[in-house]
Every structure is written in C-alpha cells, then in structure tokens.
Amino acid sequence: MGGLHRLKPAQLADLIEEASEREQQELLSRVHAHPELEADVFEELDEDQASDLLEARTDAQIADVLAHMRSDDAADALLDLPQDRRQTVLALLPDAQRRKITILLGYQEATAGGLMGFDYVSVPLDTTVADVVRAIAAATPMQPEALVVAYCHDAQRRLAGAVGLVTLVQADPSSTMEVLADPHPVHVHPDADLPEITRAMADYNLLVLPVLDHDDHLIGVVTIDDVLEATIPEEWRRR
C-alpha cells in the first residue's frame, strides 16, 4: 500500500475520482488486496463513479465487493447496476448479506426502511450494564456509529428502551437496562421519509435513530452519517 495506508477511505475515493483511467486502475489494484478497505472506498465514491467501476468487473468480483460493504450501501450499489446483472450478483452474495439486501430492496430508497442498517445491540430488560458493555465490545463486525446506543426489549421483543454508550460506561455495572433506559425512545417506522427522519434526529440530537415495525419490534437503525449523505447537496460533497 505504500503511503496509501495513511489515507482514509474518503481520501482514497477522492484520489480515485480525480485520477486518470490508468491511475485509477493502479489505485484500485492496490486496495483490492484489502477487501474491507476496498469496500469502504466504494462506499465513499461518487455514486456514478462507483457504478461505472463496478460495472467493469465480473459478477463474481462485484459480489465480492458488495459482500464486504454495509448492507444499506450494498443495496444502493446493486440498484445502480444494470437490471440484467442484479439478480446474478445477488445470488452470488453470502446468505446473510443477501437476506439483508433483499429486505432493504423492499423499501423506497429515501425512507427509513431504505436507509436503515441492521447493526445494533438489543438485549432483554433485565440485562446488566456489565453484560451490555461486553456485548458491545464483542460486536466488532458491526458499524461503530450504530453502537453509540444500546436497546432493550420486553418478552415479546418489543422495543422497551434505549441507553447511550456514555451512560452505560459511567453507570454501576450491576445496574440493569430497565433501570437506566429511556422507556420511550424517539423512533420512526420504515415508511418515514427523509424530512421526518432529519427532523427527528435534529430535534432530539440523535446520532442513531431506531426503526420499528408496526408491532414495535426493532428492525434496524438509521445512523447520522447516512442521513447526512442523503441530505447534503451533490455539489457540496467534494468541496
């Protein structure tokens, strides 16, 4: 990787977007040896640029990139492919990623259902702080931005509360989620549109917003980075 290892995925994406075709291929070949980094870079690329670069690859190569991407970004990337390639690429994905993407494809793109991810920690009400902190520490494959809040559920797995990570770290380890949790966390349903999501997160200073089905089951979370990406005008993104 040489000096590239010091660059963040967004910086690498900027380099690729500004490079000549030959330079692009050189950069892409260097990040290709690091699948997680490659996925992060594709998540940061301009949508049209990412689509063009993915289309130039085989279906198996595309599936390999999408397998390492966050499910919501992978769903968007899949929709940007030509329609006659989508099903083949989807079939090549690992089962877990394919199931997540299939669920997301059932929602409109600019809704809570389309924006949400599946990385979150939810535990029973009587779980101790110590056990929740251990669960968060063990959730290394999950998106860190989604772990700033832990959730708890009742016996019917309905959302019963939310506790911020700072509160958990500062609390008595023997306390339970039932004692600490806000029993009525701000939430949206999957069909909530972008203005409703943005207002909720802005009004309540939220970094992560739970998405509930109509039986109050937690089905995903929307993180602030996804809202910013969806709301910031295209011409501002590379300023």
Q: Which two tokens stand for residue 151?
A: 């959730």
**Tokens at 229, concatenated:** 């990406």
Name the band, by pLDDT with cuts 50, 70 and 90, for residue 234: low
Asked whether residue 124 carries a pLDDT value surpassing 90, the answer given is yes
Region 174-183 average pLDDT: 97
Distance CA 229, CA 200 (A): 16
One DSSP character per residue, 16-67 reads HHHS-HHHHHHHHHHHTTSHHHHHHHHHHS-HHHHHHHHHTS-HHHHHHHHH
pLDDT(159) > 70:
yes
Specify the long-range contacts of residues 81-86, CB closer than 8 Å, at least 24 apart: 81/51, 81/54, 81/55, 82/55, 85/55, 85/59
pLDDT tens readout for residues 22-81: 999 899 999 988 999 999 999 999 888 999 999 999 999 999 999 999 999 999 999 999
State the pLDDT at residue 237: 57
Q: Whole-number mean pLDDT of the chain? A: 93
Q: Residue 181 carries which DSSP code?
A: S
Other Cβ atoms less than 10 A from the Cβ of 61: the count is 14
Residue labelled with tokens 């943005």: 198
Q: Is the pLDDT of residue 92 over 70?
A: yes
For residue 227, which of 122, 133, 117, 148 has the smallest C-alpha distance? 117
The DSSP H or E segment spanning 156 is none
Both tokens assigned to 83: 């329609």
- Look at residue 231 in the predicted model and tell me its pLDDT: 86
Instruction: Write down the domain spans for the chain.
Output: 2-106, 121-229
Mean pLDDT of 162-176: 97
Indicate if the pLDDT at residue 4 is higher than 90: no
Amino acid 157: pLDDT: 96
> Using CB atoms within 10 A of its CB, is residue 6 exposed (0-12), middle (13-18) or buried (19+)?
exposed
184-211 pLDDT, tens digit per residue, is 999 999 999 999 999 999 999 999 999 9
Domain 121-229 has CATH 2.102.10.10: no
Q: In CATH terms, are 2-106 and 121-229 the same topology?
A: no
Per-residue pLDDT reduced to its tens digit, 39-53: 999 999 988 899 999
Q: How far is CA 54 from the centre of its chain?
A: 20
Q: Cα separation of 10 and 117, whole Å? A: 20
User: Looking at domain 2-106, what is its CATH homologous superfamily?
Assistant: MgtE N-terminal domain-like (1.25.60.10)
DSSP lists the bridge partners of residue 193 as: 111
